[in-house]
Structure 1
């Protein structure tokens, strides 16, 4: 089912962001609004969307629309694109909806891979295919949010990494096919960012330990990147019609190492994997707010130190309340 807020026509450029109710998607929507775009944010949870829209309107007086839509449903995505174009036009589309599952493969199953592919890859395919006819008329811009996880296999994030790898390939192919039509496709591969995603990500195996390492690294200074700064870089790249953007020095280094010496990089990754939590658990995935604390005083202090900034980002980026299984 798809619903829309109050309609209205504007002559300003129009942008649509899937996964725009929180996290990186919300930061991107904020930056687009700051550039004068009328922004439509798309997500599954109507309450979460309204909170996000209120934040954007309060902070910048932005012109914000909301659309409740599950990107896995191509018919619903088609209706969102049609209605947005009829109301505001459609110049720029950012596909940012996703899920994050953090667990060793032994502690999950094929369902988790299916879920990641459904939301991250098929959701991006639906968004791109339904947007492109409108973007071709406008000679517009399409951005697909991949990940450094899609550039190399990341242990304990394999469903996510596999789906993001498919998004990266999709972006490159679409860029080649639509460039002659005046449509630019920008594929973005961020590294770790302080988006508060640890609150909405799902954890399996030793859930407390998995939550501990992920939240610590995702918030650690020098390793992760501020979400608003990342959003500024992303919007700049989209507006300038860049082909590809890799964010964070760590992500760029990982990409380079894997490109130059993939076998060695895989061996080093295998060594690093030994530091991650061992498989276990009952096969149930739990969101970050219910994953539990890591065991041991040292692990708890490490988690508290690393994730303090990410916890602040969670409050700023609408990640603090439980929601459906869509993360950004």
Structure 2
């Protein structure tokens, strides 16, 4: 591992904080930081998940803190605690939720939930961490998504919140540069994190679970999450302004930038291929959504999601919990 991929040693630290760090991409990034000598604190909502995650991280690398990132006072206390105990050199705002459903099957509440966790969670974390990061000329990473670079059918609450995170990261990068703090906007594409187990599905839940879990694990479309975590941590430490991961995500970003109207029309074509049932009702987590009823759809899902299914236990996604996934 090159020196450029490590943080400088300090009398206290280097200290790192990862929100949404109890499972999925957040847990993999925490592992990467621990391997680079950081004292890592992971924060999430679920105490049981945090306890399991702690056993997967190297002993003595930091702490786990139960925190709801939509509560700014709780985030303020979390950041202060990490700063006082370990120093604060690097922060990654990663907490998120995934809701998969046609827009007719969700309401304003689902959009509000997505914004509270992903946008306001990133905003609270950024605003509370920046004063401490200025003292250490530290690094801040905000996890957006290719879903925030263009509107994705059946993922609209997620896309809207991630678009706001991307704008926040770019603006903060420009404003914080003079103080020596770097802000990295990260836009991953599909990754094999096992998140299909924790994502929430509406409308025809079995069919929605089928297409999402297939795409999230399909070869060529998705990326190994541990490899993604390594590249993200490298980018944040190296103070890169922006990172887009996976070839399909880069292609989608380019196409939307060059021909946004055409890209939007093509998204409309893709939307017609997705499940049409849009009945309102309670969203169900992937572990409870059921399998597609069509035999061919079952075979396709089994093929596409096999790699993603293998990531479930390694990513601490094996039991449904509160909505704090990535």
Query: TM-score normalized by structure 1?
Result: 0.95
Is contact 2:13-2:88 (8 Å) kept?
no
Structure 1 residue ranges, 4+ long, deviating more than 3 angstroms after superposition = 9-12
- Following superposition, the deviation at residue 158 of structure 1 comes to 0.2
Which residue in 1 is equivalent to 2:84?
86
Which residue in 1 is equivalent to 2:72?
74
- Alignment partner for residue 171 of structure 2, among 147, 165, 173? 173
User: When the two structures are aligned, how many residues end up with a matched partner?
Assistant: 317
**RMSD after superposition:** 1.1
| Partners of 2:11 and 2:288 in 1: CA distance | 43
Q: Which moved more, 1:166-175 or 1:10-19?
A: 10-19
| Partners of 1:285 and 1:294 in 2: CA distance | 16
Other structure's SS at 2:40 match: strand
CA deviation string 1:225-247 (max 9, x = no partner): 00000001000001100000000
| Partners of 1:262 and 1:144 in 2: CA distance | 24
Which residue in 2 is equivalent to 1:5?
none
Is contact 2:196-2:286 (8 Å) kept?
yes
Is contact 1:10-1:88 (8 Å) kept?
no
| Partners of 2:324 and 2:213 in 1: CA distance | 17
- Following superposition, the deviation at residue 326 of structure 1 comes to 1.2
Is contact 2:146-2:253 (8 Å) kept?
yes
- Following superposition, the deviation at residue 10 of structure 1 comes to 6.7
CA deviation string 1:190-215 (max 9, x = no partner): 00000011000000000000000000
Which residue in 2 is equivalent to 1:19?
20
Which residue in 2 is equivalent to 1:301?
299
Query: TM-score normalized by structure 2?
Result: 0.96
Is contact 1:204-1:210 (8 Å) kept?
yes
Other structure's SS at 1:90 match: coil
Other structure's SS at 2:65 match: strand
Is contact 1:34-1:62 (8 Å) kept?
no
| Partners of 2:11 and 2:122 in 1: CA distance | 27
- Following superposition, the deviation at residue 64 of structure 1 comes to 2.9
Please give the residue correspondences for 1:154-303 in structure 2 after superposition, counting only pairs within 5 Å.
Answer: 154-303=152-301
| Partners of 2:317 and 2:31 in 1: CA distance | 15
| Partners of 1:32 and 1:219 in 2: CA distance | 25
CA deviation string 1:260-311 (max 9, x = no partner): 0000001111111111000333421000010011111100011111111101
Please give the residue correspondences for 1:38-49 in structure 2 after superposition, counting only pairs within 5 Å.
Answer: 38-49=39-50
Is contact 1:207-1:281 (8 Å) kept?
no
Other structure's SS at 2:57 match: helix
| Partners of 2:158 and 2:324 in 1: CA distance | 12
